[in-house]
Amino acid sequence: MSTRGASARPDAGDFLVEARDVELAFGQTPALQGADLAVASGEIVAIMGPSGSGKSTLLHCLAGILVPDAGEVLFDGRRVDRMGESERSLLRRDRFGFVFQFGQLVPELTAEENVALPLLLGGARRAAALAEARAWFGQLGLAGMEGRRSGELSGGQAQRVALARALVARPAVLFADEPTGSLDSLTGENVMELLVTAARDQGTTVVIVTHEPRVAACADREVFVRDGKVTSVTAGRIAS
């Protein structure tokens, strides 16, 4: 369903994350060509589109990983695109959480150390950080696996550890790029259910890139990207 000339701005809500007419090219290849998106605080939005459409690039711009060539990216009213690398790094560390397709756990660390990592990087004492991390294992069905390393975990278990790591510091926004892409259907559904439940409990805003309708169905809205532009958006719940 197209809305207002393919704008992806909700009609109501307190916008926490915004992209305004964002453009980005890799060399001579355009990736984003005027992408426009606004996400309300507490909302879960799924970004969908074919391979090469620019959906992951849009997420990376929103998260401050990439800086657009033109347009504006805002978080909580602040211009992320005008920040220096060090300021954006602090923003990603302190306010954002990330889940990627393959989890990207640190193989040298145990599962509980992986979960505690954002807290440790933020200056928390090791004992307190590990205690906070352990509290997630029962919640995510991982009790007894605290001491295992990534090579000793199944794909679904590793992705749940990655989810706990993304949420342990209570980020304002969780960015998830194909979080179930490497999982079978049942495991993927379980991970998404846990992600949505945990995010709702914490009031975390979630932006998910996916090509899977079953994953997008967990979101409040589905945004479609094609040829570097947001072309349509489904209506849904706007968080208050």
What CATH number should be reported for the domain holding residue 208?
Answer: 3.40.50.300
Residue 8 counted as domain residue:
no
Phi then psi for residue 164, to 5 deg, are -60, -40
Domain extent, residue 183, equals: 15-233
Eight-state DSSP code of residue 122:
T
- Does residue 9 belong to any structural domain of this protein? no
Those residues with Cβ within 8 angstroms of residue 38's Cβ, 6 or more apart along the chain or in another chain: 8, 9, 10, 15, 17, 18, 19
Question: Do 218 and 210 meet the contact criterion of CB atoms below 8 Å apart?
Answer: no
Answering whether pTM is above 0.85, one says yes
Q: How many domains does the chain have?
A: 1
Structural domain includes residue 165: yes
Please report whether residue 127 resides in a domain: yes
- In tens digits, the chain (240 residues) has pLDDT values of 333 334 455 444 479 999 999 999 999 999 999 999 999 999 999 999 998 999 999 999 999 999 999 999 999 999 999 999 999 999 999 999 999 877 689 999 999 999 999 999 989 999 999 999 999 998 888 999 999 998 999 988 998 899 999 999 999 999 999 888 888 888 888 888 888 988 899 899 999 999 888 889 999 999 999 999 998 777 654 433
